[in-house]
A and B are shown apart, each in its own frame.
Chain A
Amino acid sequence: MRRRLRAYRALSNRIRLNAFLEISRQPGVSFNSLSRKIGVERGLLAYHLAVLKAAGIVKVSYERRSKQTSKYELTREGEKLAQELCSGGRRANRVKKRVNKWKTL
């Protein structure tokens, strides 16, 4: 319950929600590309991504080319949450599962 609360607290901000949805749409997106897509000041975006990471719904990996590149993707919990939020919630998912089960019988 506390983990869920942490995740909802993190997502209850427009910039963070935009970043979260963008990462779910394009896993492995780089920091610079996210900054261009969302159109937020880089310093502020770095903070919002740090909140998503600390809430455990986004993970970051570092790649070193000529410069360090941070790549973002959703954690398992983040993926679950994105699915729930975009498909109408846990109850809707449960109903869908039940319908599918009935169809297979």
Chain B
Amino acid sequence: MGKQFRNRILVRISLRKRRIEKKIRETGVIIVLLGAGGRGLRQRRMLRDELASMGMIALIPEDDFPGEVAPSLVEEAMLSKGDVELVFINVESWGTVTEFTQFHRNRRIAPKLRVLVRHEHHPLYGGSASYLTDVYLTHLAVFGHVYAIDDSRKTIFPTARETVVKLADRYRLCKALGFIR
């Protein structure tokens, strides 16, 4: 298949995509869900299905990446060179802390990050004075998007699921309306 043929298909795809976007006033968004394993992974899988039913493409590295490549290398390449729009990271384990601190320093990745932290560790709402909370404060001051969550529903803070769905949906709407390119 020649280059011209591929270009023709690419144009055809983009025309059809635009036609559907105009019709339903929605657009496709690529989202990455990072978080802990175990219960966190189960929660992310449910969230992925919910976002997929809303027409978004949600990726979970543990499920979607082939085993031939090291996950840390894929994540770095994906976030810096790929066309990912939002990266939700639920900081709930030491692994995710490492991921967050690694991405927080990368100027291409950091603006896409949406950091979800337990409300006790949030730099504005919580009382923690740890080093990590200090890093959250730096990220909040420079890039914004550090959200307090509470999955126990005992406080006024929203759950991780509610936060992700609400933000992703609004982002998609803004993109469909042309606020974001």
Contacts and interface: CB of A to CB of B under 8 A. Distances in A.
B77 A43 contact: yes
B9 A18 contact: no
Contact of B24 (A1, A14, A32): A1
Contacts of B14: 8, 12
Contacts of A4: 16, 20
Contacts of B82: 44, 47-48, 51
B66 A70 contact: yes
Contacts of B27: 5, 9
A70 B28 contact: no
Interface residues of B, number: 43
Size range of the chain A interface in the assembly: 35 or more
Nearest to B84: A47
A2 B24 contact: yes
Given A5-B28, A12-B10, A46 B66 contact: yes
B65 A46 contact: yes
A85 B17 CA distance: 13
Residue of A3, A11, A47, A50 most packed against chain B (CB within 10 A)? A47
Is chain A's interface secondary structure helix, strand, loop, or mixed overall?
helix
Contact of B68 (A13, A14, A31): A31
A68 B23 CA distance: 43
B166 interface: no
Given A5-B20, A44-B81, A17 B65 contact: no
Contacts of A46: 65-66, 68-69, 74, 77-78
A95 interface: no
A5 B24 contact: yes
A69 B30 CA distance: 26
Contact of A43 (B12, B67, B78): B78
Given A43-B77, A46-B74, A55-B57, 9 more contacts: A5-B21, A5-B28, A8-B28, A12-B17, A50-B61, A50-B65, A60-B66, A70-B66, A85-B12
Interface of B: 1, 6, 9-10, 12-14, 16-17, 20-21, 23-24, 26-30, 48, 52-59, 61, 64-69, 73-74, 76-78, 81-84
25 contacts: A2-B26, A2-B55, A5-B21, A5-B26, A5-B28, A8-B17, A9-B17, A12-B13, A12-B17, A21-B9, A42-B69, A43-B74, A44-B78, A44-B81, A46-B78, A47-B59, A50-B61, A51-B30, A51-B82, A53-B64, A54-B52, A54-B57, A54-B58, A67-B68, A68-B67
